[in-house]
Amino acid sequence: MAGIALMGAGLLMRAWRPSALSLPDRPEKDRHTDRGVAKAARRSRDGVATILPRNMTGSLGRSLLIMGAGLVMVRVLDEFVEDEEALF
């Protein structure tokens, strides 16, 4: 039941994408006048933003789906194992 609940929560989170958790779109202009620390901070921010998902709830939902499916799979496979050798 817990695995199915995790999978359901993951599906709901992937469908619900609040705008507060969305990353802003990158500006079209590439003209920047910053220098020094501000330039390094902007480049670091842009580099990290390229690997992050567009919406954080989608990433959390995917993680819950994987955990729930793994839990269900372990329980199903555990039914085929002798009771003395069962992990859970």
Check residue 88 and give its pLDDT. Answer: 61
Mean pLDDT by runs of 10 across the 88 residues of the chain is 87 76 65 78 79 74 88 85 69
Instruction: Specify the 3-state DSSP secondary structure of 36.
Output: coil
Residue whose pair of structure tokens reads 């902007």 in the numeric block: 42
Instruction: Specify the 3-state DSSP secondary structure of 1.
Output: coil
Check residue 20 and give its pLDDT. Answer: 67
Angle at 71 between CA 16 and CA 82, to 5 degrees: 165
Tell me which residue of 10, 1, 2 sits closest to 60, measured CA to CA: 10
Let me know: does 72 contact 3? Beta carbons within 8 Å: yes
Spatial neighbors of 56 by CB under 8 A, at least 6 apart, are 21
